[in-house]
């Protein structure tokens, strides 16, 4: 099942080329009610609706360093503090945008705008202090996340060993295009992932290359407590611009179109536009 938020906050499921609307005020409410909601009686052609960010979570848990391949490429930049394996920090939920929404390039803040394709988990029910063996009970679905990052800001933040502003600027958190139920995804550790910029492949890997499993991640963070509808990212793969041999040629620029694709989950597509275009009014 594919769950969507569309047309001003309506919630529904995709059935073929149509969307069936649910009688529920938000996607978070859908998960808070355990999915026990009824159809509202309205259907729409999928091609005619505007998909929005599928959910705005209460908390967005962000995993860094969960792929050895990405950790190894990060050594090229010689951070003052290392990015240790599968550490957690929080993402700014106000930076969330959906598929086809624009990533705004804040030229007054950064010259090094980068991409990071990630599989993200939507928490299906509240809970805390659970084991990896129990973690699958808390998985409500999966979506695609593109962790947009200002590398020049990150470089300065890393002098204190933390990063926040570099990843939390407005529009830097594209997610979507929908939430796919666990039964439709199957084993989440067997998914091909690919990120393209203007059709050119930049990142290509498989979720089987994670250093630790999704269940281990969810359990490890669970002492902080999950609410239904929270999001947990699982880390990015190699191929980001900032850790390449020629980053200047690969950083995002206004006019670019980024496509982040995960097998059996979907394609998250976002154009990059200039600050002046976004704020022309």
- The residue among 12, 30, 52 that closes a domain is 52
User: What is the residue range of 14's domain?
Assistant: 1-52
142 and 154 inside one domain: yes
40 and 160 inside one domain: no
Question: What average pLDDT is seen over the chain?
Answer: 95
DSSP string, the chain: -EEEEETTTEEEEEETTEEEEES-S-HHHHHHTTT---EEEEEEEGGGS-B--S---S-EEEEES-BHHHHHHHGGG--SS---TTEEEE--GGGEE-TTPPEEE-TTT-S-EE--EEEEEEE-S-B-S--GGGGGGGEEEEEEEE--EEHHHHHHHGGGT--SHHHHSTT-EEEEEEEE-HHHH--TTS-EEEEEETTEEEEEEEGGGBSS-HHHHHHHHGGG-B-TT-EEEEEE-S--GGGSSSGGGTS--TT-EEEEEETTTEEEEEEEEEHHHHT--
Q: Is the per-residue pLDDT at 79 higher than 70?
A: no
Q: Is the per-residue pLDDT at 254 higher than 80?
A: yes
The pLDDT, as a whole number, for residue 62 is 94
Q: Is the per-residue pLDDT at 33 higher than 80?
A: yes
18 and 115 inside one domain: no
118 and 156 inside one domain: yes
Environment class of 96 (CB within 10 Å of its CB; exposed 0-12, middle 13-18, buried 19+):
buried
- pLDDT tens digits, residue range 110-148? 999 999 999 999 999 999 999 999 999 999 999 999 999
109 and 177 inside one domain: yes
CATH code of the domain in which 43 resides: 2.30.30.370
The pLDDT, as a whole number, for residue 187 is 98
39 and 159 inside one domain: no
- The domain total for the chain is 2
The pLDDT, as a whole number, for residue 158 is 86
């Amino acid at each position: 099942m594919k769950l969507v938020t569309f047309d001003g906050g309506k919630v529904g499921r995709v059935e073929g080329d149509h969307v069936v609307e649910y009688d529920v005020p938000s996607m978070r409410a859908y998960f808070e009610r355990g999915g026990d909601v009824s159809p509202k009686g309205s259907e729409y052609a999928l091609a005619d609706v505007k998909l929005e960010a599928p959910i705005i979570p209460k908390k967005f848990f962000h995993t860094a360093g969960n792929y050895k391949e990405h950790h190894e490429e990060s050594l090229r930049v010689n951070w003052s503090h290392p990015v240790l394996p599968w550490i957690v920090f929080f993402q700014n939920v106000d930076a969330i945008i959906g598929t086809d929404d624009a990533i705004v390039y804040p030229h007054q803040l950064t010259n090094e705008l980068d991409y990071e394709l990630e599989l993200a988990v939507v928490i299906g029910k509240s809970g805390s202090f659970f084991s990896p063996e129990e973690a699958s009970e808390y998985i409500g679905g999966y979506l695609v996340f593109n962790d947009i990052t200002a590398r020049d800001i990150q470089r300065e933040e890393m002098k204190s060993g933390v990063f926040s502003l570099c990843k939390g600027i407005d529009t830097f958190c594209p997610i979507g295009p929908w939430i796919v139920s666990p039964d439709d995804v199957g084993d989440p550790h067997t998914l091909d992932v690919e990120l393209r910029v203007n059709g050119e492949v930049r990142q290509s890997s498989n979720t089987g290359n994670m250093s630790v499993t999704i269940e281990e991640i969810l359990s490890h963070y669970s002492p902080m407590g999950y609410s239904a509808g929270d999001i947990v990212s699982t880390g990015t793969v190699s191929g980001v611009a900032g850790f390449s041999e020629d980053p200047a040629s690969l950083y995002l620029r206004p006019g670019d179109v980024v496509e982040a694709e995960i097998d059996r989950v979907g394609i998250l597509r976002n154009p990059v536009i200039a600050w002046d275009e976004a704020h022309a009014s």
